[in-house]
Amino acid sequence: MCRWAAYRGEPLYLEELVTSPAHSLIEQSHHATRAKTPTNGDGFGVAWYGDRPEPGRYRDILPAWADCNLKSIARQIRSPLFLAHVRAATGGGTRRDNCHPFVHENWSFMHNGQIGDFEKVRRPMETMLGDDLYAARNGTTDSELIFLLAFHFGLREDPLSAFADTIGFIERLSFHMTGSALVRFTAAFSNGRTLYAIRYATDRRAPTLYAAPMGRGQGYCLVSEPLNDDVDTWVEIPDGSAVSIGEEGLDFVMFEPGNSIALHPAREAI
Amino acid sequence: MCRWAAYRGEPLYLEELVTSPAHSLIEQSHHATRAKTPTNGDGFGVAWYGDRPEPGRYRDILPAWADCNLKSIARQIRSPLFLAHVRAATGGGTRRDNCHPFVHENWSFMHNGQIGDFEKVRRPMETMLGDDLYAARNGTTDSELIFLLAFHFGLREDPLSAFADTIGFIERLSFHMTGSALVRFTAAFSNGRTLYAIRYATDRRAPTLYAAPMGRGQGYCLVSEPLNDDVDTWVEIPDGSAVSIGEEGLDFVMFEPGNSIALHPAREAI
Amino acid sequence: MCRWAAYRGEPLYLEELVTSPAHSLIEQSHHATRAKTPTNGDGFGVAWYGDRPEPGRYRDILPAWADCNLKSIARQIRSPLFLAHVRAATGGGTRRDNCHPFVHENWSFMHNGQIGDFEKVRRPMETMLGDDLYAARNGTTDSELIFLLAFHFGLREDPLSAFADTIGFIERLSFHMTGSALVRFTAAFSNGRTLYAIRYATDRRAPTLYAAPMGRGQGYCLVSEPLNDDVDTWVEIPDGSAVSIGEEGLDFVMFEPGNSIALHPAREAI
Amino acid sequence: MCRWAAYRGEPLYLEELVTSPAHSLIEQSHHATRAKTPTNGDGFGVAWYGDRPEPGRYRDILPAWADCNLKSIARQIRSPLFLAHVRAATGGGTRRDNCHPFVHENWSFMHNGQIGDFEKVRRPMETMLGDDLYAARNGTTDSELIFLLAFHFGLREDPLSAFADTIGFIERLSFHMTGSALVRFTAAFSNGRTLYAIRYATDRRAPTLYAAPMGRGQGYCLVSEPLNDDVDTWVEIPDGSAVSIGEEGLDFVMFEPGNSIALHPAREAI
């Protein structure tokens, strides 16, 4: 099980969420007291937005707690919008290309969860990608593939709807190919302006998602698991919902997979 | 807390102890169910003896469970005497030079434990080393330094006595420098012919050490913690003892720190 | 431009060809005096056959000359058949999965050369792979893809014919997709019993290939470039030919791309 | 031979000097057309000053041209004062702790050159360090050791004088220990406000050093070798001189080793 944290608000040093000794993501990943998997040592990554439309990114395959570069970068860089992830591999080798956040154009994406029987649906999912997105696939994870498919389904125009269609497509494809379907998906993503998160699972057992105000003004933090024991601060976002955090603060909507996309294109490709 | 396993006997594929899915060192390090520290993701290493007097060695700083090279090497290489180690850093950065086993000449060494207040005694310990041993120090761990000091105290001639003197020296030095002393030391080492292990702690709380027959003939395996749940197989080696495994099988002796080495050389150097 | 060396004969320490200071592959790759590209710092790999049908393999993305593990492994391991490669990337990121030799089942493969306009034919080439071979693709290089396609075209049954068909297919596919075709291919591969090499280029400008007797008996070494200045030792293998080295010594045959494979399966898939 | 570039002036994206395709440090290090050593593949590093007194730093042991993290970071980060270095190891293994720039407190330092017979003077040089500086030594290079010794000799108070005394001390120590002395030293360093560089060699054959105005206002760039072929832009700084770049622009002074420091402290320690 992976862990992640994301922030949007007044510029904040990355270290406050990512590497500080008290209750940061890295500290949590090292001790992993509440985790179902023993630890999160299979790489990490951060993506942050600065002066340019596309984010900066730093990923590596060391355990995050052992990486001096991360400590220095997180201490130095201040950003109004960033995503951070530590990985416990469920599939896909331990290499940089498989570390979250994934970045394409000005979008960033990170994920906790998985697609059931991914190896059986991986190829038809890849076949769905247009040539540009196919060429943009660098790794072997289900997460990167979900992200690229979301572009196919309109991420640039309507992000939440694009992921709804993507997940709906994967569920129907899985059912078609294997007789059952399981997508567990607790993800955060951004275009550099708005920070989004979705919590959804086919079997209603999605990995957790929490939100809390952070910093001054309309700043918010989203996390896969609370970063400290101050339980009152963190509001659990229920399964089957999505949040978006923009200039106006946090919005909350219901989320369910779209069913408007037929399987025919994939069926032809299979 | 680190974990390790060592073997001497009929040639055995490294994978049987190191990487096999059932109850190997790597599997154990990943799940770490009995460990006091959360995991062992700070690097690993194997040293094996083959046709040459000095051992081969492979170390890296990835979590061992993520390393395809290790899987391939452990599956391919068969050896009558090898040491394998997974690291949970107590001090010294995560880098190859700090990964066990350490190798010098034909000797290999690995360790679970630590020196209390190591940073306070590190410099006078390094000052004790002759120029050749000083030049052989590549990393920053207490473990490598204990190993190099053992050469200073006669490892080549009388291994157990050399470590007794080394530990005695460190205890007296610590007491002299800091007013107290703590060495916890569960280590295995070899010259390519005999496999040795020592379990000792100043406070009688040394990390565990177990032995079990393995393979055909007089083969034995030594481990920091049992590799499987077949409890009857594993004999715990008590604190304050040492074992040596050679052609004739396993020998067991009492071990206590030597007190023959005065502090004067170190005192001059301080 | 990559460099490689391969050996079949009496068991030889890998270091004699791979890491020894005088005229080994690594030394050559570091200084690269005759190379057209400045250096070969984009990773390396060795595959060797031992007691098992499938080879052992060690790859990493450091420059080979900086890797202590490689030095130790090459000094320790003796093998009657091995392949070694240093990489100067023409495409595909610097990561382990893109380092040669590639291994699938008991076969190993390494390559110097490239497919012209690879990005334009990559996808239809991947589409040709059966599901098992598709799942076996871990990296993004043209080399790995040629290797996997060769399985599709019968590598297990008739190796030289399989590569002839593979290259013929790629040339026709390239021509079909882009209006021109260019494959440059100087490769070595093995099933653990016979060592094969092919030198071929569409434009008759294939990277060089040399052979020399080595060790005792019927031992031979194949290299992309001579490893020392003893020019008389090395016989250049001409463009458009293949060699196989087995129990009986070295065999030499002409090589040209096969034209028996129609493009129809690929055309459907595009 | 290493290469480096440093900048002080209006905030500039690191990529303009470090990673841009045209004539950056990385491009130069890859092709290395004028280099005496074949390439600079033994790691790299950047240190940049931002909002905090101490610099951020990113180092790794991959060849710089293969590192996606560096590309992303250099494209994202803008700084008024930064140092960048690519390494061709003359001594000290390829590992992060041996990559420049070195950082201690708010100071950063990078170096091209070497100490002759370093292994013979290394230990007495280390013995000179106070306990805090001794504990700050993480690697094994001569460069890091020169940097730490400069603190001992007053870097914080009078930087140029401190390096003069450091180099004078090393020359006398070398002569005392080995009968001859050779220090070649072309280095840049900073406290976050002023950028300094020194070019000096015992034998008057110091690696080159060039300066050029860059960006708007009083911005300057210092490099070990010109980054492009616009020869008129670059002014060569002669051997035996030092430059400092501050608010007021570039200052130029003569530089020679200090002789005020006697060898006695070291002699006692030996």
B211/C63: higher pLDDT? B211
Confidence of residue B35 (pLDDT cuts 50, 70, 90): very low
- Asked if B41 is an interface residue toward chain A (Cβ–Cβ < 8 A), one would say yes
Which of A96, A123, A140 comes nearest C138 by C-beta? A140
* Nearest-angstrom CA–CA distance, A105 and B51: 54
% of residues, chain B, pLDDT over 70? 89
Least Cα separation, residue C62 to chain D (angstroms) = 6
A90/B137: higher pLDDT? B137
Give the dihedral of Cα atoms C99, C104, C108, C109; nearest 10 deg: -60
CB B121 within 8 A of CB B178: yes
Q: Does the structure's ipTM exceed the value 0.85?
A: yes
| Chains adjacent to C (≥3 CB pairs closer than 8 angstroms) | A, B, D
Mean pLDDT to the nearest integer, C64-81: 92
Confidence of residue A35 (pLDDT cuts 50, 70, 90): very low
Question: pLDDT tens digits for B111-154?
Answer: 999 999 999 999 999 999 999 999 999 999 999 999 999 999 99
- Asked if A129 is an interface residue toward chain B (Cβ–Cβ < 8 A), one would say no
The pLDDT of residue B181 is above 90: yes
Report pLDDT for D39: 63
Which of D93, D97, D119 comes nearest B135 by C-beta? D119
Within the 66-85 window of chain B, which residues sit less than 8 Å (CB to CB) from chain C? 68-69, 72-73, 75-78
Least Cα separation, residue A249 to chain B (angstroms) = 37
Confidence of residue B64 (pLDDT cuts 50, 70, 90): confident
Instruction: Specify the residue for token string 């020194």.
Output: D198
Mean pLDDT to the nearest integer, C27-51: 73
Confidence of residue D260 (pLDDT cuts 50, 70, 90): low
Average pLDDT, chain B: 89
Average pLDDT, chain D: 89
The pLDDT of residue D254 is above 70: yes
Tally C-beta pairs within 8 A across A and D.
Answer: 50
Contacts of D59 in chain A (CB under 8 A): 68-69
Report pLDDT for C270: 37
Contacts of D69 in chain A (CB under 8 A): 57-60, 69, 96
Confidence of residue C67 (pLDDT cuts 50, 70, 90): confident
Mean pLDDT to the nearest integer, D198-211: 96
The CATH number covering residue C83 comes to 3.60.20.10
| Chains adjacent to D (≥3 CB pairs closer than 8 angstroms) | A, B, C
Tally C-beta pairs within 8 A across A and B.
Answer: 45
CB C59 within 8 A of CB C86: no
* Nearest-angstrom CA–CA distance, A77 and A55: 12
Confidence of residue C218 (pLDDT cuts 50, 70, 90): confident
Question: pLDDT tens digits for B69-103?
Answer: 999 999 999 999 999 999 876 666 778 889 999 99
User: Considering only alpha carbons, which residue of chain B is nearest residue C75?
Assistant: B56
CB B209 within 8 A of CB B237: yes
* Nearest-angstrom CA–CA distance, A166 and A266: 13
The pLDDT of residue A240 is above 50: yes
Least Cα separation, residue A107 to chain D (angstroms) = 14
Which of B122, B134, B140 comes nearest D138 by C-beta? B140
User: Considering only alpha carbons, which residue of chain B is nearest residue D269?
Assistant: B269
Question: pLDDT tens digits for C97-135?
Answer: 899 999 999 999 999 999 999 999 999 999 999 999 999
Report pLDDT for A28: 74
Interface test mutation site (partner B, options A86, A94, A95, A99, max chain B beta carbons within 10 A)? A94
Q: Which uninterrupted H or E stretch holds A264?
A: helix A264-269
Question: pLDDT tens digits for A113-159?
Answer: 999 999 999 999 999 999 999 999 999 999 999 999 999 999 999 99
Confidence of residue B31 (pLDDT cuts 50, 70, 90): low
Least confident of B214-218, C235-239, D264-268: D264-268
Question: pLDDT tens digits for D216-243?
Answer: 778 999 999 888 767 678 999 999 999 9
| Residue C206: Cβ within 10 Å count | 23
Report pLDDT for C33: 45
The pLDDT of residue A39 is above 80: no
Which of A63, A68, A93 comes nearest B42 by C-beta? A63
Contacts of A42 in chain B (CB under 8 A): 63, 66
* Nearest-angstrom CA–CA distance, D96 and D62: 10
Least Cα separation, residue D186 to chain A (angstroms) = 26
| Residue A251: Cβ within 10 Å count | 12
Mean pLDDT to the nearest integer, D201-206: 96
The pLDDT of residue C266 is above 70: no
Helix, strand, or coil here: B191? coil
Mean pLDDT to the nearest integer, C198-202: 97
Average pLDDT, chain A: 89
The pLDDT of residue C269 is above 50: no
Which of C55, C73, C78 comes nearest B58 by C-beta? C73
What string of DSSP letters covers B133-191? HHHH--S--HHHHHHHHHHHTTTTT-HHHHHHHHHHHHHHHHHHHHS---EEEEEEEES
What is the distance in angstroms between the CA of the first residue and the CA of the last residue of chain A? 31
Do D94 and C66 make contact, defined as CB atoms within 8 angstroms? yes
Its domain, for residue A105, covers 3-269
Confidence of residue A266 (pLDDT cuts 50, 70, 90): very low
| Residue A248: Cβ within 10 Å count | 9
Report pLDDT for D205: 94
- Asked if B18 is an interface residue toward chain C (Cβ–Cβ < 8 A), one would say no
Confidence of residue D31 (pLDDT cuts 50, 70, 90): low
Q: Which uninterrupted H or E stretch holds B111?
A: strand B107-115
Contacts of C83 in chain B (CB under 8 A): none
The residue ranges of DSSP E strands in A70-182, in sequence order, are 78-86, 102-104, 107-115
Average pLDDT, chain C: 89
% of residues, chain D, pLDDT over 70? 89
* Beta carbons within 8 Å of D179's beta carbon, 6+ residues apart: none
Confidence of residue B28 (pLDDT cuts 50, 70, 90): confident
Do D97 and B95 make contact, defined as CB atoms within 8 angstroms? yes
- CA torsion sign for B201, B205, B209, B210 is positive
Confidence of residue A215 (pLDDT cuts 50, 70, 90): confident
Report pLDDT for B266: 41
* Nearest-angstrom CA–CA distance, A157 and A190: 13
DSSP annotation of D259 reads -
Report pLDDT for C228: 75
Number of domains in chain A: 1
% of residues, chain C, pLDDT over 70? 89
User: Considering only alpha carbons, which residue of chain B is nearest residue D133?
Assistant: B123
